Amino acid sequence: MKNVSRNAVNWSVDDIDRMVHEPARYMILSILYVLDTGDFLFIQTQTALTKGNLSSHISKLEEAGYVKVVKEFIGKRPHTMIRITKTGKKAFEEYRGTMSRIIGR
Amino acid sequence: MKNVSRNAVNWSVDDIDRMVHEPARYMILSILYVLDTGDFLFIQTQTALTKGNLSSHISKLEEAGYVKVVKEFIGKRPHTMIRITKTGKKAFEEYRGTMSRIIGR
DNA sequence: GGAAACTGGTTTGTATCACAAACTATATTA
DNA sequence: TAATATAGTTTGTGATACAAACCAGTTTCC
């Protein structure tokens, strides 16, 4: 048995992109949507997420194709740059549209 | 290490009430917010959730104090009525306020 | 120069969660 | 009386979010 049909409130749970719906990831995307790129530590301070948590959310966003991760060395230290993709931007916009509709404004 | 501080986007992940954030529960609450009460089967058809899924979401909402569940018999058959509480209404309103702010527009 | 502390993360362990299938208990119908 | 329907609840499981523990270096301090 699967949920497939539309309902009286005129939206289905499947309309909501869970990848974006998760607050931590929404926050990450909302930063990158404006700035396009950000390094790991910048995003960490902005979101106030723990490193571990941030790390795994970035991995998920990467797997979803919503961000690209570039690792390099700055001087002698490792550095991780995260860039939002076209797909990621679109997903973010669509999520906002969907939620606007659902929340009603 | 815990997330506690505010961030540059001016909201924290903790601002979002996960009890309401879950789409299935948001849908249930959005129906009850308008109608105040609804029986199990009505909500099931409106949400298009499976019975099992709906049952457990209702239990969670009940534990959170967002709904009250009243079991009775209609004729010889069991019947389950779900009523949104004052707390539930307030939580729903606050969630919408929070999300409106976060989604922006 | 060697221990200690810091940097910039990733991996691991755990508790929780969402979900549908399987099940329960009674009632109705064939 | 056997099968089917009703009205849900319980169970199994795969996925998830999270912070603690860990790791590979680098810099600082004595």
**Nearest CA distance, B71 vs chain A (angstrom):** 25
Q: Answer yes or no: is pLDDT of B1 > 90.
A: no
What are the structural domains, with CATH classification, of chain B? Answer: 41-100 (1.10.10.10)
Residue B9: predicted pLDDT: 86
Query: Where residue A4 falls among pLDDT bands split at 50, 70, 90?
Result: very low
Q: In the numeric block, which tokens belong to residue A23? A: 């607050």
Residue B105: predicted pLDDT: 64
The residue that leads in pLDDT, A12 or A1, is A12
Distance (Å) from CA B78 to C1' D2?
A: 24
Q: Which helix (H) or strand (E) holds A44?
A: helix A40-47
| pTM (2 d.p.) | 0.92
Mean pLDDT over residues B65-76, rounded? 94
Average pLDDT, chain A: 93
Mean pLDDT over residues A20-42, rounded? 98
Distance (Å) from CA B81 to C1' C16?
A: 27
Give the whole-angstrom CA distance, residue B100 versus residue A22.
Answer: 16
Residues 65-84 of chain A within 7 A of strand D, judged by CB, are: 75-77
CB B23 within 8 A of CB B16: no
Task: Write phi, then psi, for B68 (nearest 5 degrees).
Answer: -120, 140
Instruction: Kindly give the residue spans of alpha helices, DSSP state H, lying in chain B.
Output: 18-21, 23-35, 40-47, 51-63, 86-103
Query: Where residue A1 falls among pLDDT bands split at 50, 70, 90?
Result: very low
Report the range of poorest mean pLDDT among A9-13, A22-26, B52-56: A9-13
